[in-house]
């Protein structure tokens, strides 16, 4: 069986690697450098398991820039292109998803089944079926952690497919067969319910992050030991010891856009909590900035823009919101981020020499602490109490 994957970000590349263990997989991307790296078995993203599989496993995987090459003869085309949230329209920008859909339609092969893995608004698949007068498409949400995407594909928490059909069962079998985990829960449902599962699951995680961040804000301002409080709270098995490490706010690929999209879907539905989650994240970033500004620094050093350790992604990272709030007060900001090769980023200065960065900075903020900062610990402001992501 030939399977095409459109998009080679965290979701696309992890799925391509997973399925290429047993099937012919063609990965499509528009960036030549990424295609070249994949064909040379060099991972274009930071993911320990993908890097390991690229080196050690025999994968029937090839990347291409040509959509016809990718789609011709494919049983499934899995769409994993990004859907960034557009704050002007209060909706996901699904233009890249629709571009792939239109390319598949142009192949004039109704035997191709499209599976959307990109995060989409509730009701999107049904609207696409009406718009293009097609039926060969369904949605299957992904639940992957950044930097551990392949691991989460090999050991999935569950497999959800937004269709009740033989082809849906066949697709679920592919994921189940290539995974290493046994007895995976598989759930079939209508597409709109599957779309809702994705948004509600990520919004709950955002709620949990926000809850422990607000606990930390209270403890910090009242002079209490946050870690002791969290340890005591989380000993309750109903609460559990996860997603409880304070941070500068939630960020990254999924949580910021998914919470906003869910809130937009509540336009005509009574609610208080969903809006509060979105606002809580803004409040947290402002609080962090206020704590830094209270130290009256001349130069604030920002150690890493990435959301978490072991990641190379800093899209929508919470620390950038903190930086904006600090810069609005006229305080100079200096960034240390090894993945940035230029001398500036979004108008901020970038220092490539870590020693110089430490010396120039009056205060260093770090969403996640690194032992490399131990020698300037007195300068570092972080809320990373448990040293985990």
The catalytic residue positions are 254
- Computed over its alpha carbons, how large is the radius of gyration of the chain? 22
Q: What share of the chain is helix, strand, coil (3-state, %, to 5)?
A: 45, 15, 40
For the CA atoms of 20, 158, 123, 251, the dihedral, rounded to the nearest 10 degrees, stands at -90
d(CA 159, CA 168): 11
Token couple for 43: 């991972």
d(CA 176, CA 174): 5
Tokens 């991972």 identify what position? Answer: 43
Asked if 324 contacts 292 with a C-beta cutoff of 8 angstroms, the reply is: no
Tokens 């109704």 identify what position? Answer: 110
Token couple for 160: 């959800």
d(CA 14, CA 19): 9
d(CA 127, CA 195): 13
Residues in the chain, overall count = 389
CA 341 to chain centre: 23
List CB contacts of 112: < 8 A, sequence separation 6 or more.
71, 74, 75, 76, 77, 104, 136
Token couple for 182: 């046994």
């Amino acid at each position: 069986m030939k399977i095409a994957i459109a998009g080679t970000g965290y979701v696309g590349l992890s799925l391509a690697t997973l399925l290429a263990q047993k099937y012919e997989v063609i990965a499509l991307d528009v960036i030549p450098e990424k295609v070249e790296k994949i064909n040379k078995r060099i991972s274009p993203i930071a993911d320990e398991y993908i890097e390991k599989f690229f080196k050690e496993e025999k994968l029937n995987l090839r990347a291409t820039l040509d959509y016809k090459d990718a789609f011709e003869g494919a049983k499934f085309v899995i769409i994993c292109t990004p859907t960034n949230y557009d704050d002007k329209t209060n909706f996901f920008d699904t233009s890249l998803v629709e571009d792939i859909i239109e390319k598949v339609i142009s192949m004039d092969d109704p035997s191709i089944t499209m599976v959307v893995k990109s995060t989409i608004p509730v009701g999107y698949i049904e609207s696409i079926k009406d718009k293009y007068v097609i039926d060969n498409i369904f949605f299957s949400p992904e639940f992957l952690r950044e930097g551990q995407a392949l691991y989460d594909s090999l050991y999935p928490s569950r497999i959800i497919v937004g269709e009740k059909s033989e082809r849906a069962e066949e697709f679920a079998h592919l994921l189940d067969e290539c995974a290493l985990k046994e007895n995976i829960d598989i759930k079939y449902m209508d597409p709109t319910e599957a779309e809702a599962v994705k948004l509600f699951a990520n919004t709950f995680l955002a709620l949990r992050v926000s809850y422990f961040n607000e606990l930390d804000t209270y403890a910090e301002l009242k002079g209490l030991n946050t870690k002791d409080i969290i340890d005591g709270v989380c000993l309750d098995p109903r609460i559990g010891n996860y997603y409880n490490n304070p941070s500068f706010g939630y960020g990254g690929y999924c949580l910021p856009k998914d919470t906003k999209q869910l809130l937009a879907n509540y336009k005509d539905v009574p609610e208080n909590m969903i809006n509060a989650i979105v606002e809580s994240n803004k409040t947290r970033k402002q609080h962090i900035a206020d704590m830094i500004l209270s130290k009256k620094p001349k130069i604030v050093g920002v150690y890493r823009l990435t959301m978490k350790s072991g990641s190379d992604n800093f899209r929508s990272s919470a620390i950038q919101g903190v930086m904006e709030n600090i810069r609005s007060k006229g305080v100079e900001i200096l960034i240390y981020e090894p993945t940035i090769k230029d001398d500036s980023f979004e108008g901020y200065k970038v220092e490539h020499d870590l020693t110089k960065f430490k010396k120039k900075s009056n205060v260093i903020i770090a969403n996640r602490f690194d032992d490399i900062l131990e020698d300037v610990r007195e300068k570092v402001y972080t809320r990373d109490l448990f040293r985990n992501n």
